[in-house]
Amino acid sequence: MEENRLLKWDKCGICNEEKTEGYYLYKMYICIECEQKLIRTDPTDEKYRYYIRKLEQINQSKLYS
């Protein structure tokens, strides 16, 4: 329990869950689990298109006025 307070949690841009293991691809944090799912998904699978749509959000500006 004490160990959880020391870990840094980031929200994955694909699954929207807070995870401790992953990396940033430009401005989007991607957890290891989603990375592996993306790598293993066949490009003809509909789920692959879902991942691509999520990754396209990296370039979208988040300008708040």
Q: CA dihedral in degrees (35, 40, 44, 50; nearest 10)?
A: -20
Distance CA 24, CA 40 (A): 19
28/49 Cα distance (integer angstroms) = 17
Looking at the domain assignment, is residue 3 inside a domain?
Answer: no
Three-point CA angle 27, 63, 18, nearest 5°: 40
Q: Domain containing 22: what range?
A: 10-60
Judge whether 1 lies within some domain.
Answer: no
Predicted TM-score of the model (pTM): 0.74
pLDDT by residue (tens digit) across 10-36? 999 999 999 999 999 988 999 999 999
Considering only residues 10 and 65, tell me which one the structure prediction assigns the higher pLDDT.
10
Distances (CA, A) of 10 to 27, 33, 47, 62: 12, 13, 23, 18
pLDDT confidence of 59, banded at 50, 70, 90? confident
Q: Is residue 27 part of a domain?
A: yes
Domains in the chain, number: 1
